[in-house]
Structure 1
Amino acid sequence: MISDEEKAKIKEEIVAKINSVLEKNNESFRLDQVNVLNKADSVKFMGNYRVYDRKNYHAVSGEINTFLKQYGNVEIKSKKIRDSGMKFTAVSFNFEL
């Protein structure tokens, strides 16, 4: 089982990396936190972010997905959203350790 210190470190790494990729690509969204679900035999990390400029989506998601895959098998889902005239792609991810 992963210690609380290790969980906190992984959460900080994920938030910092995703926000740096979003900032580098001039995206306005920033990830605040990664959620953790403690299971009997594993720990599940979950989060989501948005990409507003669809031209940036492939560059942003490619770099973030490569980073997240260092933690093992990552489930990543994306969906194009149009909300009150705003268009963005919502991306959710989760993995277990």
Structure 2
Amino acid sequence: MEDDIIISSEEKEKIKVEIVEKINSVLEENDESFRLDRVNVLNKNDTVKFMGNYRVYDRRKYDSISREINSFLKQYGDVEIKSKKIRDSGMKFTAVSFNFEL
């Protein structure tokens, strides 16, 4: 592995804020009520893992929302994205979780 690049706290914060702002702006543009409040960070020996999740309530808009968010997240490298349809006490939504390591 090339020189161990440790991401500074400032850089981690900047990435977390970028992700929250971008995901929330996409959700807002599509009249979704859910807002992402934070991205979690897991510091590992040689990488930093960023993790988060959001919900999409309007299934008709899911594809376009996820396409836009996924293409944004991919700028950080290899992103693992999982989604599943959920029905919870009458509410239907798609829960999406993502993570990537830098």
What TM-score does the superposition give when structure 2 sets the normalisation length? 0.95
Counterpart of 2:29 in structure 1 is 24
Q: Equivalent of 1:56, from 37, 61, 81?
A: 61
Counterpart of 1:82 in structure 2 is 87
Counterpart of 2:3 in structure 1 is none
Per-residue deviation at 1:46?
A: 0.1
- Looking at structure 2, the residues matched to 3 and 42 of structure 1 have their Cα atoms a distance apart, in angstroms, of 12
Say if 2:53 is the partner of 1:37: no
The percent of aligned pairs where both chains have the same amino acid is: 81
- Looking at structure 2, the residues matched to 37 and 28 of structure 1 have their Cα atoms a distance apart, in angstroms, of 27
CA deviation string 1:1-28 (max 9, x = no partner): 1000000000000000000000000000
Counterpart of 1:96 in structure 2 is 101
Per-residue deviation at 1:49?
A: 0.1
- Looking at structure 2, the residues matched to 35 and 4 of structure 1 have their Cα atoms a distance apart, in angstroms, of 13
- Looking at structure 2, the residues matched to 85 and 5 of structure 1 have their Cα atoms a distance apart, in angstroms, of 41
Runs of 5+ unmatched residues, structure 1: none
Q: Which has the larger radius of gyration?
A: 2
Per-residue deviation at 1:59?
A: 0.7
Count of residues in correspondence between the two structures? 97
- When the two chains are superposed, the root-mean-square deviation of aligned CA atoms in Å is 0.2
Q: Which runs of 4+ in 1 moved over 2 A?
A: none
